[in-house]
Amino acid sequence: DAGVIQSPRHEVTEMGQEVTLRCKPISGHDYLFWYRQTMMRGLELLIYFNNNVPIDDSGMPEDRFSAKMPNASFSTLKIQPSEPRDSAVYFCASSFRTSGSGRPTDTQYFGPGTRLTVL
Amino acid sequence: GNSVTQMEGPVTLSEEAFLTINCTYTATGYPSLFWYVQYPGEGLQLLLKATKADDKGSNKGFEATYRKETTSFHLEKGSVQVSDSAVYFCALSEGSGGYQKVTFGTGTKLQVIP
């Protein structure tokens, strides 16, 4: 399996520009998570989806951030307009329900991350 | 709410030294506990887990025991290698219904020198 795929791996942009981060979860996984990692705040959950539906977006910092999951194999995280304080590494992760139990397996599988720098 | 507290880093050890990274947690019920590892430039990956009290998770020479009485899940390894240099995250998951929310600690950076 290819694992969770994220693109781009690095993004450098100027303040005010729109940024779109992309994620392809592991095939068969029905949960998808977006995290942000910074030195100051550590690893923060921004939003998660179940079966392509956003379930909890309480971690999204403000209205400049939006996330979509149009199908089971693709999700985007968009920042518009971007600001220097958005500079961070953004991770996508996926997980799946165990067969029969209806509960997720707990383990999350992370992508390699996108390092975003906003100048 | 749930929380995870792990020791401040960085931790610097010589190769073949014994490693302990402390982790304690606060949870309302009976969480599952995890250690994730993040190598430079990569995402987090599961290192080991334990789902109930007194369980021991182990992988790649690392071990951690779920201690309910002390609400701890300390990570240990008897002899570290340079290749173990990474950031280690303690985490717990707890919830009802469909989703078990994962709470991560702040991470502890380990540097192993030859």
Q: Is the pLDDT of residue A15 over 70?
A: yes
Question: Quick check: A101 pLDDT over 60?
Answer: no
Percent of all residues in chain A with a pLDDT value above 70, rounded to a whole number? 92
Chain Cα centroid distance, residue A4: 11
pLDDT for position B68:
93
Residue B84 near residue B59, CB atoms below 8 Å: no
pLDDT over 90 (residue B99): no
Average pLDDT over residues B30-40: 93
Reported in sequence order, the residue ranges of chain B that DSSP labels E, i.e. its strands, are 3-6, 11-14, 19-21, 23-26, 32-38, 44-50, 56-59, 62-65, 75-77, 86-94, 101-104, 108-113
- Alpha helices, DSSP H, located in chain A: none
Write the pLDDT tens digit of every residue in A55-73: 889 999 889 999 999 999 9
Instruction: Work out the pLDDT band at B9, boundaries 50, 70, 90.
Output: confident
Backbone angles phi, psi at B84, to 5 degrees: -85, -5
Is residue A19 very low, low, confident or very high in pLDDT (cuts 50, 70, 90)? very high
Q: How confident is the model at residue B102, as a pLDDT?
A: 86
Tell me, yes or no, if B99 comes closer than 8 A to chain A by beta carbon: yes
Contact B49 A111 (CB under 8 A): no
A115 CA: distance to closest CA in chain B (Å): 9
Sign of the four-CA dihedral A19, B40, B45, A26: positive
The more confidently predicted of residues B93 and A17 is: A17
Q: How many CA atoms lie within 13 A of A17 on its CB side?
A: 13
Compute the average pLDDT of residues A11-27: 97
Residues of A in contact with B4 (CB under 8 A): none
* Residue-averaged pLDDT of chain B: 92
Check CB contact under 8 Å for B104 and A43.
Answer: yes
pLDDT of residue B95: 67
- pLDDT tens for residues B70-97? 999 999 999 999 999 999 999 998 866 5
Q: How confident is the model at residue A40 (pLDDT cuts 50, 70, 90)?
A: confident
- Residues B76 and A49: their CA atoms lie apart, in Å, by 34
Q: Report pLDDT for A104.
A: 58
